[in-house]
Amino acid sequence: MNRDSRFFKFKSKTIAILRKNKGAIFSGVLIGTSYIPFPPWALLFCLIPLWLEVLENQESFWSSFARGWWTQFILSLIGFYWIAYVSHEFGYMPWPVALLVLLLFVATVHTYYAVAAGGAQWLRSRLQLSESVTLVLLAAFTGLGEIYWPSLFPWNFGYTFLWMKSPIAQTADVFGFQGLSLLVLFANAGLTWAFLQAKNTGKYFYLIWKSLAIIGIFAGLHFWGLEKRAEWRVTDSKLNVLQIQANIGNFEKVMAEKGAGFEQSIVNQYFELTREGLRQYSDIDLVIWPESAYPDYLEVMDLVNRPYANQFQHFLKEIKKPILTGGYAHTFDAKGLNRNYNGLFLYGANGQLFGSPYHKTNLLVFGEYTPLTDYFPILTKISPAGEGWSRGTGPQIIPFNEYKIGPQICYESLYPEFSAELAHLGADILVNLTNDSWFGPTSESHQHMMMTLARGVETRRPLLRTTNTGITTAILADGTQLQKSAQFTPWYGRFEIPFKKQAPMTFFTQYHSWLPLILLLIVILSVLIGKGRAKKMVSKQDNKHSQST
C-alpha cells in the first residue's frame, strides 16, 4: 500500500469516527463555550446531543464510553487550554512538550463523562431499563463523577450562576454549587426525555410543557435567591482592609525563593505599595498581601536572625498596621527534621504573631510536591518541584482582635469541604491568598476567581481574595461581589467588609456531605424501579402470548 492510499484510508476512517460521534462532539462544544469566561448560553441543553446518541444507539459499553470521551475531550480542550501555558511556565517545559501535556490532560481529565455514558448504557442493556431511567442514571453518574473523579481543577456547572450574577447562586448556601450543577444535569436529562417523546410521537407538546416546567423551577430559584440575598444583608460588624497586588514576575519569585536575588526589590515593592495605599486610606484595620508574597521565612524564630524578616518587623512598627501575608515557614518534626511550608502569617502592628502560622494543606502536585518521593527519592532530582513543600495539618482559625479569620492558600478554595470546616471552626471571615501568575493571560484566572468566591456564598462568610497578579477582589456574605483589580499591574484597593459576627451555619455547611449519598440513593432506586417495570412488561407480554395461544 503506497503513502497516498494509507493517507486516504486514514482520512476516511477519521471522518467516519467524527460523523459517528458528531452529537458527542457537539455537546463538548456546547459545554466548553458555556463555561467561564463565556456566557452560559447552552447550560440547560448542552448534554442533549450526547445523551440522545447514547439512547438512540443501543451499543456496547465501550461504544458509549467512546462517545462520552469525545465530549469530555472537546470541552476540556476549550475550557482548560491553559494547561499548556502553565506546563511551560510552571513546569519549565518546552512548548512542544507542554502541548503534549495538554493533549494527555484533556484526554483523561474528565473521563467520568465517558464512564457515565458507558455505565448507564451497560445497565440499560443488562437490566432492560427504559430511556427515562437511563437518563436519570446518566445525570446521576455524571454528578458522581464531578464529586469523586480526581481532578486538578474540580469545576462544575453550578459556578456559572455566580459568574453571570444570577440570584440562583444565592441558593448555594442550601444546595452548594455542586448541588446547583446537579440541577443542571437533571434539567438536561428532563429535556432530553421530552425531546425523545416529541420525536417518537410527533407531538411537540411534550417538549414545550416540560421545557416550561424546567424554566419554572429555575425561575422559582431565582426569586428565592433574591429573598436569601436580602436576609444576609443584616450585619453587626465591619472590617476595613487594604489589599495589595504587587505583580511580581515568576522569574523574580523563583529566584527569590532560591535565595538567588530579587529579595530586596520584592520587599521594596510591597513596602512602597502599602505605604502609598495607607497614605490614601488611613482607616485600615488590616493589610493583606498575597500567597508567598514575602520572600523570606517569617516564623518567630527567624524574625531577628534573617535580614528580610527583620525588615518586616521594622516595617510593621513604621506603619502601625497589622499585616496578613504569605511567606515561607518551617518547623521541626518529631524526628528533628526540618519541614518547610508554604505559609500564611498574621502579624500585629507591634510585631506580635496572632495565633499560629497556617501551613498550606492541599498542595499542587508536581508544582509544590512530587508524589512517591518517600519511596523513590530519585524523583526529587527530576521533578520541577524538587523536594517541594511539606503538607500542613488541615484547616485552622487565626484569631484577630475579637474576630476569627479562616485562612486558605491558592486552590484550597476549590474544595467546599475545606471552607465548610473553617466555618465550623468559627471563622467570621475567609481570606484566600493566591498566586495565579503561572497561568498568564488565560481564562484560568476568571475560573479560579469564581470558584473561590463561591465559598463565600456557601458558608455565608465574606471572602477576601488577594493575588499576586490578579484578580484581587472580595465577596460579601450576601453574595455581593466587590471591585476587581486589573491584571498584571501593581494595584492596591480598600474594601469595607460588613459581616455578622458568629454567623449561623448554613444548611450546606452542615449537611454538604450528604449529597453523594443522595445521588447513590437515586441510582439505586432508579435501577430497582426500572428493573421492576421491565419485569412487569415481560410478564404482560408472556400473558398476552399465552392467551393468544
Instruction: Identify the active-site residue in 210, 360, 368, 404.
Output: 360
Amino acid identity at 143: G
Q: Based on the residue annotation, tell me whether 238 is a catalytic residue of this protein.
A: no
Catalytic, 410? Answer: yes
Active-site position among 53, 291, 299, 444: 291
Full 3-state SS string of 249-304: CHHHHHHHHCCCCCHHHHHHHHHHHHHHHHHHCCCCCEEECCCCCCCCECCHHHCC
For residues 463 and 416, give the distance between their C-alpha atoms in angstroms, rounded to a whole number: 13
The strand pair at 491-499 and 237-245 is best described as antiparallel
| Cβ atoms 392, 359 nearer than 8 A | yes
Count the Cβ atoms, other than its own, within 10 Å of residue 101. 17
DSSP three-state, residue 317: helix
One-character DSSP codes across 437-483? GGG-SSTHHHHHHHHHHHHHHHHT--EEEEESSS--EEE-TT--B--
Q: Residue 535 catalytic?
A: no
What is d(CA 52, CA 368) in angstroms, rounded to the nearest whole number? 42
Cis peptide before 382 (omega within 30 of 0): no
Q: Could you give the residue ranges of the DSSP H alpha helices within 307-415?
A: 307-319, 379-382
Catalytic residue among 410, 412, 444, 458: 410
**φ and ψ at residue 494, rounded to 5 degrees:** -100, 130
C-alpha cell at 539: 410478564
Task: Say how far apart CA 434 and CA 438 lie, in whole Å.
Answer: 11
| Contact (CB, 8 A) for 56 and 78 | no
Element (H, E) at 223: helix 205-231
DSSP state string for 191-207: HHHHHHHHHHHS-THHH
Catalytic annotation, residues = 291, 360, 410
